[in-house]
Structure 1
Amino acid sequence: MNYQRPPEAIADLVNLKPDPLMLFGPDRDYIIIADRPMYPSVEELKEPKVKLAGRQINPDRFSPHGSRGFYHPRLRRISTGEDRSFQGLPKGGMYRYFSWSPDGNRIAFCLVTEDGLQLWTCDRKSLHCQPVGESDINNSLGGVPYDFIGNERFLIKRRIPGAKKPSMSENVTGPIVQDSSGKEGSNRTYTNLLQSDYDVALFRYYASSQLYLHRLDTGHETPWAEPGIIAGLGDSPNGKYFLITYVVEPFSFNVPYDKFADRVLLLDREGSVIRELTQRPVVEHLPPAFGAVITQPRRFNWRSDHPAQLYWTEALDGGDPRKNVPYREQLYYLESPFTGEPQKTIKLPMRFGALRWCRGDLAIVVDWEWATRRQVTRRWFPDAPQRQPEVLFDHNWEDNYNDPGSVVTVSLPSDHSVLLTRDGGDTLVMVGNGHRPEGPQPFIDGFNLTTRQKTRLWESTPPYFERPLFFLDEDPDYFLLAREQASERPNFFLRHLLTGEEVRITDFPHPYPQLRHTNYELITYERADGVQLSGELHTPEGFEPGREAPLPVLMWAYPQEYKDADKAGQVLTSAHQFRRISPLSPLPFLAAGYAVFDDFAMPIVGEGDEEPNETFIEQVRMNAEAAVRRLVELGVADPRRIFVGGHSYGAFMTAHLLAHTDLFAGGIARSGAFNRTLTPFGFQAEERTFWQVPETYVRLSPFVHADKIDSPLLLIHGEEDSNSGTYPVQSKRMFTALDNLGKNARLCLLPYEDHGYAAEESILHMLWEMHRWMEMHQRPAAEKAAATARREEAHRQR
């Protein structure tokens, strides 16, 4: 069939102008602003694509497929409000990867050409732009393909000169053979993996690059370091040393490239090797548990407050979190000139998470444990490496109400970040969401390291919902603030932490005034076993439940696993937040007269040693029953016209709800997984494999329960879904089962689309399918009663 459009009231919500890119300069008085494009067309999605080692690469441009960039770059000065456009750029150009030089006097970015990416540079004062070399940048593996080295030099990742694209005839010399290793391991169902020797040759061709050192003052460019597949590069704070990671062969057919074998080297300023730090094998056989890691050195990290000191960690438990050991991690460091042996520092009892630097007597180290959902924040003394860290916060990350927040960092001129402190360095600055039963109120706290006392420095104040985004590097009394209301989209301000003085940065209008006055309410309720639940209820403007007839309702959710029932019911949204209507969300159907119960709570709780998935079906049923009962009690929902839907894991939930309840007139399942035997090494928060609990995998497969689905089910899937576990075959096989069982189902495959849909035509057609499906299947009470009777009879026969 041809692409269709939903009713205009819904279609009008698709092409709303998105917020622009905003990138502050080092002195924070200047902002780069560039506009984001609307949705691409299907024709754009049809651009050439090769799928290799977990990547989708545009072979003409040596860049990730589908990356679009920005247009109309300009510079705004905050103190005057003046906007000036960049000069000398090609008409209609698209640009990516904007960045500032350390001194803020120069801007760099990449122009997207037919041949690839080309580096350009711009003087901040004149805004005159000029290219830096040809459009031969290699960005196949993503990331920013260049870096400022000081203010007038770049390291640029370019294609290998003279490299010849391999031909299939030269690289297919026999059968494809793989041997098992004899080692236990657990890999998710990755997509777009290497399949043949020809794929290996193609990946080598597209991923290999050469770094060049370019000097702006002379225009001279010379090769720097050895060519290869460069997976990472980072300079020391003093700029004299570089850490570089090369992917090495043989490549794997079982995992994506970021798990391939690699070498980590230390280089000097000229790109010469000082020493090899480690060689690591391909990561194919980690223990089958969350938190499993390799046994080789990992997580290399330059100490930000030191000229050149390198840190990393190594597992003490064989990388297996199932082992009972007193310590799981050992940190090491090595200092310039990097000729000695690595020095041991602290040990951590749980898995290493993060390291934030400040000075010799202050760093923050975080370790965590999946089984207990525990995260510990510790103060460490890096200049006394054997001194034990002091626990500052010991937090369960499911407990949002008692989250202490996160430490704030600012950037140094070296582009390395350090902790932001106040009161002569004795007080950390922390930001948090401030979750509480009445909704979140984001905050900024001062945490005194001596007294361990918190001081509230700022807090969001109703009727606004405000979020601190970051502090200014050179003037950290100021922070960027996003402010919104239920009926006002977020705008940005610079605010002084102490005086409250503000400078307005943006003045974005309401993006969809036609829905400005729709109703919103955070609904709380309780499921049968006492777990507290909530959801976001949206109704059309002027609707008064109890005084008007109930509405058709679209309920939309995504399951979340918890280990604690009390924490599962915590409220995470505010009534004062702006409700952004994404065309991929259910909210556009407000324009068609539907009520929308969005993000209604779908907790799956497994306390103690109990795994959440052992009672997944029972819990999604209880969650849905409680939600429907509350909507009917409020007079919002007509029980004959309630639809349920979700994307990805929400689609999996939707199929289960139609199979195991009679609550819904129909369902909409987008890009889901319905046969868990096709994801045998785990899914979502399930870390057990199929062979450990086969009965659980079978029972949790909606495909197995297709005969129980009596309500109509609409399946939508992107034809090129690359997400782990949600192959398009999942929806195809589910539809085939429903079709042959005589069920009411429809399958819509969107050409060229991935896990999330991108093209304007695809999104409009998706909305048409959803609207048409719900309009067709608002079933009368007699039909629903008959379906219930059929289900009860089927259960009796079983």
Structure 2
Amino acid sequence: MQKTLLLAASLWLSLLSFSLLATAVDTGYREPASEITAIVDAAPTPSASLSPDGLMLLSLQFPALPSLADLAAPEHRLAGVRLNPANNGPSQPRYIAGVTLIDIASGDSRAIKGLPANLKVIAAEWSPNSRYIAVVQLDDNQSSLWRIDTKNATAKRWGKLQPNAIQGARLEWAANNEELYLLAVAARRGAAPVATKVPAGPVVTEARGRTAPARTYQDLLKDQHDEALFSHYFSSQLLKISLKNKITNIGKPALIRSFSLSPDNQHILVNRIEPPFSYAVPLFRFANSTEVWNLRGEVSYTVANQPVADNLPIAFDAVVTGPRSVSWRSDAPATLHWAQAADGGDPKNPAEVRDQLWQLAAPFNAEPVKLLDMAFRFRNLLAANASTALVYEGWWQDRQEKVWLVSPDGSAEPRLLWQRSTEDRYADPGRPLMTTAANGQRLLRVEQGQLYLTAVGASEEGNRPFIDKFELATGNTERLWRSAAPYYEYPITLLPSGKLLTQREAPTEPADFYLRDLQSGELTALTNTPHPMPHTLGISRELINYQRGDGVPMSANLILPSGYDAKRDGPLPTVIWAYPREFRNAAAAGQVADSPYRFNRVSYWTPQFLATQGYAVLDNATMPIVGEGEVEPNDNFIAQLVLNAEAAIAAGVSRGVTDPQRVAIGGHSYGAFMTANLLAHTNLFQAGIARSGAYNRSLTPFGFQSEQRTLWDDPDLYLAMSPFFHANKLKTPLLLIHGSDDNNSGTFPMQSERLYQAVKGHGGTTRLVMLPLESHGYRARESVLHMLWETQSWLDEFVKNATPAVAP
């Protein structure tokens, strides 16, 4: 007992000393060099939404970074979801801060009058006829519904209801263009539950022999008060509102997770959360019911009652055993389709048929009809009409995908169109264009028996997007157009006019929308985005290719300072930024995954910003971890990391831009894990930057990243891959940065805190920066600027000012 008390006291004192040490280091938010701050404050790249009739674009402008005060808004963390109780919206949402209508034929733009002055739109939905756009505005203390009239470019608030926007504010227009369906806060919802000062009793969970492995999750329910809060905030009233502001409630308030109107508008598919609630898994694994409601909110058919999914195998292809992926067939009046496992949901079970695809038409009183037996897992169904639909199936274990042509009406046997490796980007045939029917349903676009396929067009020379015409009967492909140097141009859709709507950019030109005449090649600009950071125009970016020691091809974006000349200026201090990725095929691992013609928007999220301070940067340096046949990728994780790092450094040195004695390595999340491992197992670097990583894999014992084996399956693997257990070797200066409210699975803030203590305890050089109010990605302007200041200061001290290599 005395030893236990002494141990506890020792632990308490060590934690106290850590706390005192943390407060002893200089505090307060700092800012980097002004050139870097200007990069952070540059206007975000705008986007756009195409109207269903293809005649208008809704240009979307996004805000600058929020402030710490914005992040300090009220927040509840319930069932894996973070919400703002003041406005019943998501916590710290990303939103649209400005909208403009653009006429595609003329290129004319129109400002929209009547919108809130402080616009914060988190959802927007076109009506099927393109006349209206419904939007959800999020204010500090409420959410509200607004309607934009595209005819006169005006907006007004739509009713006095409050959308329940916690899960994204789904909006669905009726086919008549006069009614909108949505989830709202119940008009008579009472006050939120208040926690009692005295607990009602202990929190008890138990296990009785039922296997229930699970990966690490955060923000789970933890007690009865959390359950009460969950029921309060997630309860919604499904309703419809007319253009004349008439509100019709559909059923009673319920814990509705999602809903979908049938194409004929006579039924509603509803997914409801069912109690009891789990303390072990997040919302998406809670017990739930999938039902068909009539327009009065009465249940007319129950598709599935799923228990809490807390006992799924941890393999990536594991699924629940009942109906899943339930949806309406978009080409039919009211026909459901769903997938169902035929192998017990466990990919380890041997089976020729893994999944089956079923359909059932209204009035839902017949036996379901099987559409397809699948050797893989169902992924998606895209329907054009009763005789034509595409079914996608995939198997993660082998990185395989199949695409079938099926006839939902049974008029033809299913036919395999293609099977491919999802790792083989060069062989990707693309994804089909869709079209919007008069009732608002999205349909597969089929014209004279042909599909249109678009893809990024990966190739050895970089991504070159294309649009193809694919003949369903023969499988023949005709290339209609492909992006060409010196531009990166992506095809969005073929418009009714026959012209191609694209988004085009170049290294010195931000992305803009264009109309391209496929016959003449004539281009018409629809938008004209100014360069957001002209002071970076001289910074160069080159997509370079190289090989690692075993012959696997690799690539990186080489970023160099403005005016730099290797022969004149000599090699530079260099920062390599990367993120490891697992592959089952060495050839696929080496494929180029970028384009040399993308807009050179100097990033602050990766170290590109350091080019303003005289650094060379190898950004997005590929870090393939390959395992072929019976060998898993992580079986040789460390050895392959070292090969990758050596190759990246050699690539910079061979070009005369990298000083091998002044190189740093860095990464975020799994890239931080990579960084700590490389510093522990090599002497290649002078410093490391590790942001929001996980370093002790025993804290993620049921798998991590793409690893499916558990700690108990292969404890040696977990220990070998964990830099925490090699902290005694971490002597290279390591900067650790972490959001104090990180909610990403596995990357608990404790991971960085414990690694810091371990390195410090072994006499290493390290610094720990915990960013208040920040999650896995840092958002507040103050946090981002401080992160950049820390990064620049650390690298200047240990890399830039290190002793340069002696010229041969």
**C-alpha contact 1:732 1:747 (8 A) present in aligned 2:** yes
Per-residue deviation, 1:338: 1.6
Equivalent residue of 2:105, what SS?
coil
Per-residue deviation, 1:784: 10
Corresponding residue number in structure 2 for 1:597: 618
Residue 688, structure 1, aligned to residue 709, structure 2:
yes
Letter in 1 for 2:226: D
Higher mean displacement: 293-302 or 64-73: 64-73
Aligned partner of 2:428 among 393, 398, 403? 403
Aligned partner of 1:449 among 472, 477, 486? 472
Letter in 2 for 1:77: D
Distance 1:280 1:761, change over 3 A: same
Per-residue deviation, 1:548: 2.2
Letter in 1 for 2:362: S
Corresponding residue number in structure 1 for 2:225: 198
**C-alpha contact 2:237 2:250 (8 A) present in aligned 1:** yes
Per-residue deviation, 1:177: 0.8
Aligned partner of 1:668 among 672, 683, 689? 689
Per-residue deviation, 1:21: 4.3
Structure 2 CA distance for aligned equivalents of residues 440 and 72 of structure 1: 31
Per-residue deviation, 1:451: 2.4
**C-alpha contact 2:454 2:466 (8 A) present in aligned 1:** yes
Question: Could you give the per-residue CA deviations for residues 291-339 of structure 1, whole angstroms, max 9, x where no partner exists?
Answer: 0000010111211111111111110000011121111111111111222
Structure 2 CA distance for aligned equivalents of residues 690 and 118 of structure 1: 48
Residue 357, structure 1, aligned to residue 380, structure 2:
no
Per-residue deviation, 1:498: 4.6
Distance 1:33 1:529, change over 3 A: closer
**C-alpha contact 1:484 1:576 (8 A) present in aligned 2:** yes
Aligned partner of 1:111 among 137, 140, 153? 137
Per-residue deviation, 1:722: 0.4
Equivalent residue of 2:291, what SS?
strand
Per-residue deviation, 1:68: 4.8
The correspondence of residues 325-364 of structure 1 with structure 2, limited to 5 A, is 325-364=351-390
| TM-score, scaled relative to structure 1 | 0.94
**C-alpha contact 1:353 1:365 (8 A) present in aligned 2:** yes
Corresponding residue number in structure 2 for 1:493: 514
Equivalent residue of 1:226, what SS?
coil
Per-residue deviation, 1:19: 2.6
Per-residue deviation, 1:238: 1.4
Corresponding residue number in structure 2 for 1:213: 240
The correspondence of residues 396-435 of structure 1 with structure 2, limited to 5 A, is 396-422=421-447, 424=448, 426-435=449-458
Question: Could you give the per-residue CA deviations for residues 374-419 of structure 1, whole angstroms, max 9, x where no partner exists?
Answer: 111111121117x542111110111112222222222212222222
The correspondence of residues 277-316 of structure 1 with structure 2, limited to 5 A, is 277-316=303-342
| TM-score, scaled relative to structure 2 | 0.93
Corresponding residue number in structure 2 for 1:247: 273
Distance 1:601 1:585, change over 3 A: same
Distance 1:532 1:83, change over 3 A: closer
Higher mean displacement: 311-320 or 401-410: 401-410
Distance 1:778 1:126, change over 3 A: closer
Per-residue deviation, 1:495: 2.5
Question: Could you give the per-residue CA deviations for residues 500-551 of structure 1, whole angstroms, max 9, x where no partner exists?
Answer: 4443111112222222232222222221222121211111122222332211
Distance 1:661 1:213, change over 3 A: same
**Structure 1: where are the runs of 5+ without partners?**
786-798
Per-residue deviation, 1:171: 9.4
Letter in 2 for 1:462: A
Corresponding residue number in structure 2 for 1:757: 778
Higher mean displacement: 44-53 or 462-471: 462-471
**C-alpha contact 1:72 1:85 (8 A) present in aligned 2:** no
**C-alpha contact 1:647 1:671 (8 A) present in aligned 2:** yes
Per-residue deviation, 1:277: 1.4
Identity of aligned residues (%): 39
Equivalent residue of 2:397, what SS?
coil
Structure 1 CA distance for aligned equivalents of residues 788 and 155 of structure 2: 42
Distance 1:21 1:144, change over 3 A: farther
Letter in 2 for 1:192: D
Structure 2 CA distance for aligned equivalents of residues 405 and 537 of structure 1: 28
Letter in 1 for 2:673: F
Structure 1 CA distance for aligned equivalents of residues 442 and 623 of structure 2: 38
Aligned partner of 1:169 among 166, 187, 196? 196
Equivalent residue of 1:227, what SS?
coil
Corresponding residue number in structure 1 for 2:666: 645
Per-residue deviation, 1:149: 5.8
Aligned partner of 2:152 among 126, 131, 153? 126
Equivalent residue of 2:787, what SS?
helix
Aligned partner of 2:126 among 84, 94, 100? 100
Letter in 2 for 1:206: Y
Higher mean displacement: 679-688 or 399-408: 399-408
Question: Could you give the per-residue CA deviations for residues 79-102 of structure 1, whole angstroms, max 9, x where no partner exists?
Answer: 333333323334334333122211
Structure 2 CA distance for aligned equivalents of residues 518 and 113 of structure 1: 39
Corresponding residue number in structure 2 for 1:237: 263
Corresponding residue number in structure 2 for 1:78: 104
Higher mean displacement: 631-640 or 309-318: 631-640
**C-alpha contact 1:171 1:198 (8 A) present in aligned 2:** no
Per-residue deviation, 1:782: 7.8
Equivalent residue of 2:653, what SS?
helix
Higher mean displacement: 607-616 or 207-216: 207-216
Corresponding residue number in structure 2 for 1:273: 299
Structure 2 CA distance for aligned equivalents of residues 8 and 782 of structure 1: 27
Structure 2 CA distance for aligned equivalents of residues 25 and 504 of structure 1: 18
Aligned partner of 2:482 among 435, 438, 459? 459
Higher mean displacement: 376-385 or 195-204: 376-385
Structure 2 CA distance for aligned equivalents of residues 270 and 499 of structure 1: 55
Corresponding residue number in structure 2 for 1:620: 641
Structure 2 CA distance for aligned equivalents of residues 388 and 320 of structure 1: 28
Distance 1:689 1:104, change over 3 A: same
**C-alpha contact 2:561 2:615 (8 A) present in aligned 1:** yes
Corresponding residue number in structure 2 for 1:657: 678
Question: Could you give the per-residue CA deviations for residues 534-577 of structure 1, whole angstroms, max 9, x where no partner exists?
Answer: 21111112222233221111110000101111211111222222
Structure 2 CA distance for aligned equivalents of residues 498 and 351 of structure 1: 41
Equivalent residue of 1:168, what SS?
coil
Higher mean displacement: 59-68 or 263-272: 263-272
Higher mean displacement: 775-784 or 484-493: 775-784
Distance 1:552 1:52, change over 3 A: same
**Structure 2: where are the runs of 5+ without partners?**
1-26
Residue 49, structure 1, aligned to residue 75, structure 2:
yes
Per-residue deviation, 1:216: 2.2
Letter in 2 for 1:456: R
Question: Could you give the per-residue CA deviations for residues 232-265 of structure 1, whole angstroms, max 9, x where no partner exists?
Answer: 1111111111101111100000111111001111
Higher mean displacement: 486-495 or 766-775: 486-495
Measured on the aligned residues, the alpha-carbon RMSD in Å equals 2.0
Equivalent residue of 2:303, what SS?
strand
**C-alpha contact 1:364 1:378 (8 A) present in aligned 2:** yes
Distance 1:344 1:170, change over 3 A: farther
Letter in 2 for 1:26: P
Per-residue deviation, 1:181: 4.8
Residue 548, structure 1, aligned to residue 569, structure 2:
yes
Structure 1 CA distance for aligned equivalents of residues 612 and 108 of structure 2: 38
Corresponding residue number in structure 2 for 1:790: none
Equivalent residue of 1:645, what SS?
strand
**C-alpha contact 2:125 2:171 (8 A) present in aligned 1:** no
